[in-house]
Amino acid sequence: MDRTGDPWAILLSKLAGINSPPKARQAYQQYMHESYDTEIAPAVQAQWAAAGGLEDDGLTLRVTKSPDAPFRAKVARDLFNALSKEAQEGLRTRARADAKVARDAYMSARKGRPSQSPEDKQRCIDHLGTFMSHILRGIEAYTGLHAVVVFGGPIPQRNGELKTVHFTQGRNRDPNPVTFPEWSKERFDKDVLEFMEEFLQTAFTPEECAAAALPNTQGSQAQTSQTDYDAFDFDSDSDSESGWGSTSESLGSEDSDSESERHSRRRKSVKGKGKAKEVQKKRASKDKTSKRKGKGEKRKRGEEEGRSANKRARGEGSSRLSPPTPIEPVPRDAMMLQGIDETLRLFRPVIWEDIEAERQK
């Protein structure tokens, strides 16, 4: 999705107090935008084939499977430079005009009230996972806190039916670590999700639910999405390599054509948890190895203590061998609370000063 039309990106910019309207394309980029398939792509393929898959970056020749972005841009610039002055100026003018339209729409979206159409609401719901994953990962990284966030209300794609969607971040320290909803699924479904749905019955009228439905789903359940919103588990099956903790899955995708495939993969992830089981097996194997090592070390210490006791009984040596003092691990709760004041102190100048500066403009 284009960031300028992404409501979550707009919301983040509002929260951070940062203005970032889209910039105008360069003239050759406008040329690529308007005429890539008809004029530029054939030239790219022809030049790449003539080069035998070799691309010259100015220093070395390298083999590529397909033309990359720099190669395509170079061909586009060459073709652009071959255009007449009038054609080049026309592209520059249209690039500036497109940028103005995009900027006006962006600023209007920032200052205006969010759209209330069912289509736009469903679009936001589809991309809610991407938005929340960054928020929850950031919160866990800066605070050490785990989170469960539950949203509920009429889902446009489900004919306005009241459903819940939950997001989780963080796993426990069980031999096979699980998220909070997985820790006791029956209790979570009954005490959290069902309780939330009971509340939603008092928060929305039947008329509001009907008005929230997509136009092509009103009165017809056959065309609604088959997505089971209650079944989503957005905590990843493995730790993130980025250092931000576990990665939440996304409800939506920039590629709308693959949306059903992604929903299908999520349903399989919820039901099968194949990848999670593999990870859990690896963790369990590591735990068993660690336990065996621990037992071996304990047995070794016991043998050393026994030999020391025999020596003392025979009067050999005066030193007393004592087992090493075990190092107590820092409780996770204490780890989570450490540095929260410092984190808040770091947050304030970054966020609130920007917001204050924006208000004073």
What pTM was estimated for this model as a whole?
0.44
Q: How many CB atoms lie within 10 A of CB 345?
A: 10
Q: Report the alpha-carbon distance of residue 47 to residue 73 in Å, rounded.
A: 12
Give per-residue pLDDT as tens, 243-289: 333 333 333 333 333 333 444 444 444 444 455 555 566 666 666 66
What is the residue-wise DSSP string for 57-85?
Answer: -SS-EEE-SS--HHHHHHHHHHHHHTS-H
The residue whose two tokens read 């204490």 is 334
SS3 label, residue 315? coil
The domain ranges of the chain are 3-111, 118-277, 330-361
Cβ atoms 215, 148 nearer than 8 A? no
Q: Along the 361 residues of the chain, how does pLDDT read in single tens digits?
A: 556 566 666 667 666 555 667 788 999 999 999 999 999 999 998 888 887 755 555 544 555 677 888 889 999 999 999 999 999 999 999 999 999 998 888 777 777 778 889 999 999 999 888 888 888 888 888 888 999 999 999 999 999 999 999 999 999 999 999 999 999 999 999 999 999 999 999 999 999 999 999 987 544 443 333 344 444 444 443 333 333 333 333 333 333 333 334 444 444 444 444 555 555 666 666 666 666 666 666 666 666 666 665 555 555 444 443 444 444 444 444 444 444 444 444 444 444 454 455 545 5
List of residues 6+ apart from 285 with CB closer than 8 A: none
List of residues 6+ apart from 196 with CB closer than 8 A: 150, 152, 164
- Please measure the distance between the N-terminal and C-terminal CA atoms of the chain and give it in whole angstroms: 30
pLDDT computed for residue 49 by the predictor: 83
Q: Report the alpha-carbon distance of residue 100 to residue 300 in Å, rounded.
A: 75
Chain centroid offset of residue 326 CA: 39
Long-range CB contact pairs, 118-122, < 8 A, 24+: 118/156, 118/211, 118/212, 118/213, 118/214, 118/215, 119/156, 119/214, 120/7, 121/156, 121/212, 122/155, 122/156, 122/157, 122/214
pLDDT computed for residue 203 by the predictor: 96
pLDDT computed for residue 318 by the predictor: 42
Cβ atoms 80, 117 nearer than 8 A? no
pLDDT computed for residue 107 by the predictor: 79
